[in-house]
A and B are shown apart, each in its own frame.
Chain A
Amino acid sequence: MIEGFAAALPANAWNWVAVWRRNYLAWKKVSLVTILGNLADPMIYLFGLGTGLGIMVGRVDGASYIAFLAAGMVAVSAMTASTMETLYAAFARMHSQRTWEAMLYTHVTLGDIVLGELAWAATKAFLAGTAITIVTATLGYAAWPSVLYALPIIALTGCVFASLAMVVTALSPSYDYFVFYQTLVLTPMMFLSGAVFPSDQLPGAFQQIARCMPLSHAIDLIRPVMLDRPIGGIALHVGVLGLYALLPFFLSMALLRRRLMR
């Protein structure tokens, strides 16, 4: 059993690149459409909510509401982009298109595939988050150049949510189950984690829950760098995000091995 799991681990440190490159090649052909699609949604939220609600809310934590919201939207867009990629696109490659099956005929192991898919989803998250960061910085809602520190955090956030979504992908019998994860986990997380309003406004119990959620830690890192403020507890935030990226990765590999190699 243990031996079997070892065979499913990544074979080496670079095999996953071949998987990543396969996805990149396929994506390149439709990149313009998907970039626009990925950008439109968070932009509409940002400017719709930002300007509309901003009038009523005024300033939040000493920043304009739209600048406050921008950090939340960057984190949420990274979360959404990598979740969507891992739930729908990776599931299709595993299930209906049988792309993974073909990969398993070769030198690539299941772990390499999972790693390549996660890296790819994180890449897409990075693109989506970075695009919004650039727009907000250009419009003057984010501080330059400290906003650049947001980029590695966006990538890490992408890894976290790809990893979590991979567990859902590994467990779902079909596409129909993904919506539960989105509405019951991700949407509440967005509201509890301080993306659209400060989480210290929440009742104590909810604040406790929020502290366990990866999105709050991502936002606690991204918001200060975008507003050029001092960050507290970097190690804690990065550590929590790291755990949220690693543990589901191993869990999803074990689940996928049981599902695909039985």
Chain B
Amino acid sequence: MSQDQKHQVLKRKLGPEDLRRFETPAIERESHGQTSAKSSVPDSASTVAVDFAGVTKSYGNKVVVDELSFSVASGECFGLLGPNGAGKSTIARMLLGMTCPDAGAITVLGVPVPARARLARRGIGVVPQFDNLDQELTVRENLLVFGRYFGMSTRQSEAVIPSLLEFARLERKADARVSELSGGMKRCLTMARALINDPQLIVMDEPTTGLDPHARHLIWERLRALLARGKTIILTTHFMEEAERLCDRLCVLEKGRNIAEGGPQALIDEHIGCQVMEIYGGDPHELLSLVKPHSQRIEVSGETLYCYAPDPDQVRTQLQGRAGLRLLLRPANLEDVFLRLTGREMEE
């Protein structure tokens, strides 16, 4: 792609029009959209939202992100799945240009980062792992102040704030101080704040950690609403269920390395490929020898035996008549993949 074409694409995606849209009447906006659609060249820059190529970052001697490569398509929900300290937040910070990688190249919305991070940030919304709302200000003031950081006037912000409050289900809390909000409401407000610049890409760092199930489901639902609007989402999490539910594709991280990548179901099929029988209530090592001939793989974790068996009935027959044993047959999930990849006490 030539520099010129790139420039055109950029201009369409990130030009000052983004902020002006608040003033343009709807009809004009339509036609504006059409002209820019014509002038832009459909190429990789418009379909790839984020690209990491061989990115490495160390703190002291500790390699936190290791030769990491992945690529996120526009409109996709991409998950970064990894345990504590896997480097998820560091990846998010590098994507925003808030820290420089030691090696490798990062492109976000067609712009090289960190070199032109400020331009890229015009199209990014951020929901951080740790709340950084202004506790002293009200809900509405938080949005207003944040709009100013993007160069939006009070009038421009006030034009979008009602719809953001509605999105966050905080209409009735508009004049409440942030310190009065519950944890779930704060996270919703952070999401609304991330949308004030109408970003194409939203980076969410563990958006549901520490929330109760109600709040978690609300966040998931809001997140899906964003995907329906065509937003691209990068979601970091260590909840397998969350990743499985929401992500189109994900990358499993261990110590900053990409150890597997793909759709949740594809990963499950590839790495497990059968149902899982959980067996507990007996001596796992004794049971191990019994079921071993009938399983693809067996893992022991504490007192539970995880038995990956193509034909679970055979295992059941084998264990028949043993008192106090409990069997649970369930479909394989991402957690199984994760544990398989990162290695539990494993017995092939």
Contact = CB atoms under 8 A, between A and B. Distances in A.
- Are A and B part of the same complex? yes
Interface of A: 3-4, 7, 11, 15, 18-19, 21-22, 25-26, 29, 97-99, 101-109, 260-262
A26 B137 contact: yes
A18 B152 CA distance: 10
A3 B114 CA distance: 10
B36 to A, nearest CB: 21
A261 B98 contact: yes
A13 to B, nearest CB: 13
Contact of A3 (B96, B115, B126, B150): B115
B146 A97 contact: no
A7 B132 contact: no
A93 to B, nearest CB: 9
Contacts of A18: 145, 148-149, 151
23 contacts: A4-B100, A4-B114, A7-B97, A15-B151, A18-B145, A18-B148, A21-B148, A22-B148, A25-B141, A97-B134, A98-B128, A99-B134, A101-B132, A103-B149, A105-B96, A105-B128, A106-B121, A106-B146, A106-B197, A107-B122, A107-B151, A260-B98, A261-B98
A22 B142 CA distance: 9
A139 to B, nearest CB: 36
Contacts of A98: 128, 130-132
B47 interface: no
Given A21-B148, A106-B197, A107-B151, A26 B117 contact: no
Nearest to B145: A22
B136 interface: yes
A19 B122 CA distance: 17
Contacts of A108: 149
A106 B117 CA distance: 10
B118 interface: yes
Contact of B150 (A21, A22, A25, A107): A107
A209 to B, nearest CB: 40
Contact of B126 (A4, A7, A15, A105): A105
Contact of A107 (B100, B121, B193): B121
Contacts of A104: 96, 98
Interface of B is mostly: loop
A99 B146 CA distance: 11
Contacts of A105: 96, 121, 124-126, 128, 194
B245 to A, nearest CB: 26
A97 B194 CA distance: 18
B135 interface: yes
Interface in B100-140: 100, 114-115, 117-118, 121-122, 124-126, 128, 130-137
B342 interface: no
A107 B149 contact: yes
A101 B128 contact: yes
B57 to A, nearest CB: 10
Given A25-B141, A107-B150, A102 B132 contact: yes
Interface string B79-102: 000000000000000001111100
Contacts of B126: 105
B128 A102 contact: yes
A10 B6 CA distance: 27
Nearest 10 Cβ contacts at the A-B interface: A98-B132, A106-B149, A18-B148, A102-B132, A105-B126, A26-B136, A108-B149, A22-B145, A101-B132, A18-B149
A237 to B, nearest CB: 36
B135 A97 contact: yes
Contacts of A262: 59, 99
A15 B115 CA distance: 19
B148 A7 contact: no
Given A7-B114, A99-B134, A105-B126, A21 B145 contact: yes
Contacts of B121: 105-107
A11 B149 CA distance: 12
A7 B145 CA distance: 22
Contacts of A109: 118
Given A4-B100, A101-B128, A107-B151, A25 B118 contact: no
Contacts of A25: 137, 141, 145
A109 B114 CA distance: 12
Nearest to A110: B98
Most chain B beta carbons < 10 A, residue from A4, A7, A106: A106
